[in-house]
Structure 1
């Protein structure tokens, strides 16, 4: 079992749940209808630790995705989009969680939309934060999946990548490469993640198995009300990706926020919070929300 550090954000809300095929690390806080929050590739549930306290009236469920953060993958072949969505749906059934809404950042946004297709009771709303709903362009679209597959196939590559990127200066450069600037604590948390060889293995495995095209083709069939929030300065997933995806979805709304990068919800959680709460309220389906802080 993975040991959750005592100083990890929201550590008091951490739970380790064994639900095949994975051993999950999930943070649960608050009261009210269930709200599932899914992080992006290379991150963990910690990425919501500044946003979560701003979302009253919901039970917030923040898992680390399989192989990343402190969730141990039960099988390295279960790290693709469809497999992760299926395993998260199984976890929800096992714990009797019934998400009224799903919030997904980056790759978590794609997983959120896929979950609307596999959950027995789809959520009333999906919110994507710089959602990764488009393939890489041109040569990168051909190269990156092949590179990730080659890297994940070697047991030595993760250790090499960890040594290369776990230096603090390298982590700062990687984060700034997304268009985001985090404070010292934010950089330190990502540095701790990328210093863990298992986390790198899980991230590489996810990249190697990522097949987004079938979901993109089905976007016009997704009828769950969706809000796609994009950042003007996002260098990882350009705002046009969310704008184009929203245009293809019958019940999607697009909002663009200036001045921030890919990690918008960590840089400006208050800006994101206002949009989220308004959209959830509009699509609450008459649910009675609990007032007061989380």
Structure 2
């Protein structure tokens, strides 16, 4: 039985925000995807969380069905304010925010800028820990730009396999279908902001229990990175999903759910 409820839009933080809702019961959980992941691509994860949580997946501005445009601010502060405004617009309380990759950085900035939000927990799934004076995020911008342009032109799963060779046919089809909705300008700015924004300065002001999750087969969050983050976060723990690369639930879905469930205190 599917836990999908509906997709909807709200006007929050001055823009149109689109989201998908799953479950409809239990504590509130908001998923903030990464740099080129429209909400629909996290549907399989939201289905699983929807069995126990009232789950919302946001289309980050410039992605999916949320507002995009040349005049839109795609900076981290605006993205963080979007999540806070979405939570308020939906009237959610005691919210767990799960941010993957870029979404993890958004969650950190959101918690710092909006200390009055009714947050319960944060889950930071393999967030880039790059910033001024730090090692760069270990990915290449042309990979994102080239794949987006191919999707805008029109591509199928076979063409997408060139960019994501380990993904399943279903995953490739979904990405090929939706990647064209990722605004190139938004993606380029977000990628470049990985090196410009200093999220480490935000960490001491994140006061809710936080799980930092790293990929066992990736180098986005090293052990040294995790140690530094934990030294700055007042209430945090670290875990690795040993059999996953950066796209954690795509690579090791059950390992990802176990890590989340251990932190949330219930099986996912």
TM-score (norm 1): 0.74
Correspondence for 1:206: 190
Partner SS state of residue 10, structure 2: strand
Q: Distance in 1 between matches of 2:263 and 2:62?
A: 31
Q: Distance in 1 between matches of 2:6 and 2:244?
A: 29
CA deviation digits over 1:59-88, x for unaligned, max 9? 101111001112123674421111111122
Partner of residue 12 from structure 2, selected from 19, 24, 28:
19
**1:212–1:95: structure 2 CA closer, same or farther, 3 Å change rule?**
farther
Correspondence for 1:188: 173
Q: Distance in 2 between matches of 1:249 and 1:102?
A: 16
CA RMSD of aligned residues (A): 3.6
Correspondence for 1:127: 123
Q: Distance in 2 between matches of 1:172 and 1:137?
A: 34
Correspondence for 1:28: 21
**1:238–1:35: structure 2 CA closer, same or farther, 3 Å change rule?**
same
8 Å contact from structure 2 (residues 132, 196) kept in 1: no
Q: Distance in 2 between matches of 1:187 and 1:158?
A: 12
8 Å contact from structure 2 (residues 109, 202) kept in 1: no
Q: Distance in 2 between matches of 1:233 and 1:165?
A: 31
TM-score (norm 2): 0.80
- Residue 33 of structure 1 deviates from its aligned partner by 1.7
Alignment of 1:74-223 (within 5 A): 76-119=71-114, 120-135=116-131, 160=149, 162=151, 166=155, 168-169=157-158, 171-176=160-165, 181-194=166-179, 196=180, 199-209=183-193, 213-223=197-207
8 Å contact from structure 2 (residues 70, 185) kept in 1: no
Partner SS state of residue 11, structure 2: strand
Which range is displaced more, 71-80 or 226-235?
A: 71-80
CA deviation digits over 1:155-180, x for unaligned, max 9? xx99856568956455324335xxxx
Q: Which runs of 5 or more residues in structure 2 are unaligned?
A: none
Which range is displaced more, 72-81 or 255-264?
A: 72-81
Q: Which runs of 5 or more residues in structure 1 are unaligned?
A: 1-8, 152-156, 283-290
Partner of residue 73 from structure 1, selected from 68, 85, 92:
68
**1:169–1:226: structure 2 CA closer, same or farther, 3 Å change rule?**
same
Correspondence for 1:246: 230
Aligned residues: 261
- Residue 128 of structure 1 deviates from its aligned partner by 1.2
8 Å contact from structure 1 (residues 129, 229) kept in 2: yes
Q: Distance in 1 between matches of 2:136 and 2:62?
A: 24
Which range is displaced more, 252-261 or 10-19?
A: 10-19
8 Å contact from structure 1 (residues 128, 229) kept in 2: yes
Correspondence for 1:287: none
Partner SS state of residue 13, structure 1: strand
Greater relative CO (CA pairs within 8 A, separation 6+): 1
Q: Distance in 1 between matches of 2:132 and 2:246?
A: 15
